[in-house]
Amino acid sequence: MENDTVPILKVEGVTKTFTTPQGPLTILREVSFSVLQGEKVAIVGPSGSGKSTLLALIGLLDTPTEGRVTVKGVDIGTLSEPEQARFRNMHIGFVFQSFELIEPFTVTENIEAPLDIRGGDVDHARVRELIDHVDLRERAHTLPYTLSGGEKQRVAIARALVHAPTLILADEPTGSLDRITGKKVLDLLLTQVEKTHGTLVVITHDEAVAERMDRIFELRDRTLYERPHTHL
Amino acid sequence: MKDLILICKYSVRLLTREWRRFVLPSASLVITGVVIMLMLLLTEGGSTLIGEKARELQGGDMVIESNTPIDADALLNEISIVPEKKSYTRAFTASLGTRERALPVSFEVVDGTYPLFGTITLQSGVYRALSPDELLLDQAGAERLNVKVGDTLLFSEKTYTLAGIVTEEPSSLFGGFRFFPRAFMSDAGFARAALPTELLRTEYRYAYALPNLTDAMRVRILAYKETHHTDITIAGTSRTGFDRSLSTVSDFLIIAVLITIVLGAANVYTSTVHLIASERKSFAVLLALGMRARTLGSVVGTSLLLIVIPSGIIGAGLGTLLFTVAQGVIETRYGISIPLHDALFQGFITTLLILVTTLSAFVPGVLRLRGVSPKDMLHGKDEGAREKQTLSALLVIVIGSLAPLVLLASLLLQSFIRGIVVIGGILVSYVVISSIFVALLSLLYRYRTRFTFMVRGVIAHKKADGVLGVISFTSLFIALTALATLALTQVSLTRYLEQDLVRTIPTTYVIDIQPSQKDALLSAFPDLTVFPNIRARIVDIDGRRIQDLVEAGDPNTDRELRREYNLTMRDSLLSSESITEGVWGEGNAGEMSVDREFAERANIQLGSSVTFLIQGFDVRGTVTSLRDTDSRSGLPFFYFVLSPMDVGEFPSVYFGYAYYTAETQRALEQFLLPTMPNVSVIKTDALAPIVRSIVNTLLTLVFLIIIPPLLIATLLIATIVVSSYPSRKKEGARLQALGLPINRVRLFYLLETIALTLAGAIMAYVSSLLVTYFITSRYLKLGQPVLFDAELFLGLGFVVLFVAMIGAYLFTKNRMPLRELLAYETNR
C-alpha cells in the first residue's frame, strides 16, 4: 500500500490528567505518534491503560491537558465547539464497541445521519450502496432494536464511512461480538476503509485484530510505544 | 417468611436508590388524594348541612304551599296530625322604594311565630316581632335603595320604617344568589298597606313543627298529597330543587374526580413501565440469580405501596386543609358553616381509593415484567419484549384498569350502570383521541422524509414513545381542551352580556301588570309594549294524554311537560322571531304558533293538535307555524302564541318592555310605587352584572375542578420527559459525535421535549374552538364565539413553558464530557 508522506494525524506530547476526589490522576503522559494517509493503526493495551481516552482526544470528544493533536494539518485544540462539531462531521467516522445507534431511527436513517447533519442533499445512491456492502438491504427500514449485535455494528460501520471521512476511529469494534461475527465485521471494516482509501485507528485488546493493522502501538505506563509487527 | 423479608428489603432498596422515579407518580397521587378528599368532604358536609338545615330551609317539618288561601289546619285535622307550633306566611313580588328610587322586592309577610326553626340575624340588634309600620330588608335591598336602619320606605302609598337589615335568614342557604332583594313585614303591616290581594301573585305557606313525626304520619301525609294533589313537603324526605341541584353538583364533582383518578392511574402506569424498562437488566439478573417472577413483581409492587400510602395520607391531609380554607371562605361570604364530618374516615377512604387507583395502573404495568427474560438479557437482547408492548399493552391496560375503576365509579356514583357508563365514556374519549393521535403520527412518520433532519428526528422520537406518549398526549389534550373550551365560553358569554346583549336588549321590563292596571299604565307610558301572560298546562298533544304519560314515566314524554307554561296571544311576529315552517296565523280561532326547539322536544309537528287546561277550561288549537327566536334581542319569549279569539277572554297578567332612559325609568318607578306597588320594574343594566357574576362564579368553580386533571396530565408529560432523559442524553452525545453542534443538539431535544405538549396545546385550542362554537352558537345561541383570548394563550403557553423548563433544566445541568457521555449507562 502506498502511504502519503504527510501525516494525516499527528499527536505531539499529549498529556491527559483528570481531577478526582483523591487528587489529579494522569491517564496519558507525553504521548506522541503520527499516522499517514491510508494507514491502518492499532492501539493496544490492558484495560484502564487509557486507550479510549486517547481515542476520545483524537476524535475531538475531549481535549488534552497538555500537548497538541493535529488532524489533516488542523490543530484541533484551537477549534471552538461548533467548529469541532463541523470538523467531526466532515473528517471523522466513529465505530463504537456498543454501536451507539440512534434508537428511534431506522437503519437507513442512522446511516444517513452524518449527511443529514452536514446539510444539503443526501446521496441516497451512496447510502444504498453502503447498505448493500454491509449486507443490510433486507433490514434497511427496520429499527435498531430488531437487529443482532453483528448487524448493529455493520450499521455503525456504514454510518462511519458514509461521509467518506479522512479518519475512521474504531473503539473495540468487535468487543461486543462473538469471534465469528467479530471477524466478519472486521473484514468488512477493513475492506470498506481500503475502498475509500481511509485512515483507520483501532483501539483493541484483541491481538488478532491488532495483527491485521499496518502498525501497532501499545499503551503502557501511561505512554505509547510502537511495537514491531509479529507477522512481518 | 424468607420471601417476605426479601421483598421488603429489595423494595426499600429499590425505592431509596431509584427515588427520583417515584417523585412524579407520588405527586400525581397526592393531587388525586387532595381531589378525592375535597370531594368527599364537600359532598358529605353539604348533605349533612342540608339534612341538618332541612327544617330551617323549608320553614317547618311539614309545609303546605298553595297559590290561594286554604284551610290548612282543617287538612291536618283530616289526617289526624296535631302540630306543636305553626306559622303562616305569604310571599309576593312588589315594588318598594324611597322618594328617589324603587326596586322589585320579594316580600315575605310573616306572623308572630315565624321562623319556626332557625333565626333571623340582623346587622345590628335582635330580631323581634314587627310592628305594623316596620319592615326588614336584606343587605342587597338596603344597598340598592341606599337606606339604613330608621330610614323611611314607601310601599303602596304608605310609609314604613326600616327596623333592621337582615344578614342571615333561615330559609336562605346561599342568599347571594337571590334574584330579587327580600323584605319582611308583619300581617298587620301588610294589612296597613291596604293593597288588594287580587293584584298580587301570592304564594301561601303553612308551616308546622311536628317534633314527633312518625312514619305512620308521613304515610298519611303522602297519601293525602297524592289523592288531593296538594303541594306538601316533609323536611328531609322530599327532594327539593336544591337537593336535586346538590345531587347534580355532586355527580359532576364525582365525574371530575374520576377523570383525575384515571389520569393519576395513567401516571402510575407510565412510571411503573419506565421503572421496569430502565431496570430490565437488573431485574433480568435477579431472575437469572433465581428470584421468582412473582417475587420480583411483589418487590416492584411493595415499593409502589410504600409511596401510595404516604401519598394518600398527604393528599387527605392537604385536602382537609383546603376544605377548611374553603369552609372559611364560604362562612365569610355566605354565612354558612359546612360541617367537617369524619375527616379520619374520609381520609381512610381517600387512601383506599388511591390504593385502588394505583392497583388499576400497577397490574397492567407490572405485567410487563413477563417480557423480562434472563436468557435474552444475558445474550444482550435487552429490548426483546419491546415489539410485544404496543398492541398488547393497550389491551392489558384496558382490561386490567377497567375492573377496579368501574368498581370505584360504581361506589362513588352509587350505581353500577352509571359507573360503567361514566368510565366507558372516559374510555371512549381516550380511545377516540388516542386513535386520531396515532393516525396523525403515523401519517407524519410515513412522510417524515419530506421534513428537515430535526423535525424528522422529533417525529421518529414521538413514534418511539409508543403507548406512553399516546396516553400522555391524550390526557393532556383532554384537560387542555376542557380548560380552553371553558375559557373561550366564559369570554364569549361575557362579551355577549357586555356588548351584544346590551346593544339590543330593552332597558326596562315591567312585570305583574294586572288587567285592571293595564290601561292606566299605558296611558301614562304609551311606549310600553305589553303582552298578556296566561298560565296553562298541556293536557293533550295529538291524542296523547301528556300528564298521564308523564305520571306513568313514559320514556318518550319529556318530564318538563308536567309544569305550567306561560302562553300569550298577539297578531304579529316580533322582530326577534322568524317563521321556519308553516304560516303565521291571521288571528283566527284555533291557530297556534310554537317555538321550533320546544316543538322538537315535545314531539309537536306542524298541524299537531294541542289542548291546554287554562283556569279549569280546555282550550284546543292546531299548530299553524313553528318559529325561531333570536334570544339576543332580549324581547319577551313564549313557547306558545295563541289567537286572541281563543284566549282573549281569560284574565291574564301582563308583561311589558320598553327602551327607556334612566330618567323615564325613574318616572315609571315613582308612578308605580304609590299607585301600583304590585307591578315591578326590572332595569336590565342592573341585571347584567348579577347574571355575569353568577356565570363567572359557576365557571370559576368548573375551572377549579379542571385544574387537578390538568396538573396530573402535565406531570404525566413531565414523567416521560424525566424518564426518557438518560436515553436522550446518550443520543445527544451520539449526535454530537456525528458532528451536530451542542446548541443544535439542545435545540433538538428541547423541541422533542415540548413536541407533545405543544401539539397538545395547539390541537386542544383548535378543538376547543369547535366545541365552543357548537356550545355558543347552537346551544347558548350567543352568535359568533370569541376566537382569541390572550389569557388562555398565556395559560397554554405556561403549560408548554413548564415542560420546556424541565427539559431545559435537565439538559443544561448536564456537564458530563462528551467522551464520558458515550460511555454512560442509559439506565442511570
Confirm if B279 and B825 have CB atoms less than 8 A apart.
no
- Contact call for B738 and A82, based on CB within 8 A: no
Alpha helix stretches (DSSP H) within B336-452: 343-366, 374-378, 386-413, 416-446
- Is A48 an interface residue toward B (CB < 8 Å)? no
The interface pTM score, or ipTM, of the predicted complex is 0.70
Q: What's the pLDDT band for A15 if we cut at 50, 70, 90? A: very high
Q: What is the pLDDT of residue B394?
A: 60
Q: Could you please report the per-residue DSSP string of B61-111? A: SEEEEESS---HHHHHHHTT---SEEEEEEEEEEEEE-SS-EEEEEEEEE-
Residue of B nearest to A97 (CA): B823
Residue of B nearest to A165 (CA): B738
pLDDT at B150 over 90: yes
pLDDT 10s digits, A107-155 = 998 898 888 888 778 888 889 988 988 889 999 999 888 888 889 989 9
pLDDT over 70, % of chain B: 88
Position with higher pLDDT, A194 vs B236:
A194
Chain B residues near residue A103 by CB distance under 8 angstroms: 464, 727, 731
Range B548-573 average pLDDT: 81
Q: What is the pLDDT of residue B392?
A: 61
d(CA B133, CA B138): 17
Chain B residues near residue A156 by CB distance under 8 angstroms: none
Q: What is the pLDDT of residue B391?
A: 59
Chain A residues near residue B738 by CB distance under 8 angstroms: 88-89, 94, 113-114, 117, 159
**Grid cell 306572623 in the structure block, residue:** B111
pLDDT over 90, % of chain B: 11
Position with higher pLDDT, B73 vs B133:
B133
- Contact call for B737 and A100, based on CB within 8 A: yes
Confirm if B537 and B547 have CB atoms less than 8 A apart.
yes
Range B426-437 average pLDDT: 86
Count A/B contacts: CB-CB distance under 8 Å: 78
Chain B residues near residue A99 by CB distance under 8 angstroms: none
pLDDT at A232 over 60: no
d(CA A8, CA A199): 8
Partner residue facing A86 (CB), from B457, B734, B739: B739
Range B321-350 average pLDDT: 83
Residue B184, classed as helix, strand or coil, is strand
pLDDT at B239 over 70: no
Q: What is the pLDDT of residue B390?
A: 53
Q: What is the pLDDT of residue B241?
A: 55
pLDDT 10s digits, A46-79 = 888 888 889 889 988 888 999 999 999 999 989 9
Ranges assigned E (strand) in B190-307 = 203-209, 231-234
- Contact call for B741 and A116, based on CB within 8 A: no
pTM for this predicted structure: 0.67
- Contact call for B464 and A104, based on CB within 8 A: yes
- Contact call for B737 and A146, based on CB within 8 A: no
Strands B529-541, B653-658: pairing is antiparallel
Partner residue facing A89 (CB), from B386, B453, B738: B738
> How far is residue B340 from each of residues B43, B232, B329, B701, measured CA to CA in Å?
11, 32, 14, 20
Q: What is the pLDDT of residue B824?
A: 55
Residue A124 cell numbers, joined: 441516497
Closest CA to B756 of B724, B708, B791, B789: B724
Q: What's the pLDDT band for B383 if we cut at 50, 70, 90? A: very low
Confirm if B99 and B683 have CB atoms less than 8 A apart.
no
pLDDT at B377 over 50: no
- Contact call for B383 and A145, based on CB within 8 A: yes
Chain A residues near residue B737 by CB distance under 8 angstroms: 59, 61, 88, 94, 100
d(CA B112, CA B115): 8
Residue B612, classed as helix, strand or coil, is strand
Chain B residues near residue A82 by CB distance under 8 angstroms: 741, 743
The beta-carbon contacts of A3-7 under 8 Å, at least 24 apart in sequence, are A3/A36, A3/A37, A3/A38, A3/A39, A4/A36, A4/A37, A4/A38, A5/A36, A6/A36, A6/A37, A6/A73, A7/A34, A7/A35, A7/A36, A7/A70
Q: What is the pLDDT of residue B384?
A: 41
Residue of A nearest to B460 (CA): A104
Report residue B123 CA to chain centroid gap: 33
Q: What's the pLDDT band for B610 if we cut at 50, 70, 90? A: very high
Q: What's the pLDDT band for B416 if we cut at 50, 70, 90? A: confident
Q: What is the pLDDT of residue A231?
A: 54
pLDDT 10s digits, B737-780 = 888 888 888 888 888 888 888 988 899 888 888 888 888 777 77
Q: What is the pLDDT of residue B643?
A: 87
Residue of B nearest to A142 (CA): B387
Q: What's the pLDDT band for A10 if we cut at 50, 70, 90? A: very high
Residue A162, classed as helix, strand or coil, is coil
Q: What is the pLDDT of residue B185?
A: 94
Q: How far is B738 from chain A (nearest CA, A)?
A: 5
- Contact call for A94 and B383, based on CB within 8 A: no
Range B214-227 average pLDDT: 78
Q: What's the pLDDT band for B399 if we cut at 50, 70, 90? A: low
Ranges assigned E (strand) in A120-175 = 167-171
Q: What is the pLDDT of residue B827?
A: 42
Position with higher pLDDT, B501 vs B57:
B57
Residue of B nearest to A111 (CA): B738
- Contact call for B386 and A82, based on CB within 8 A: no
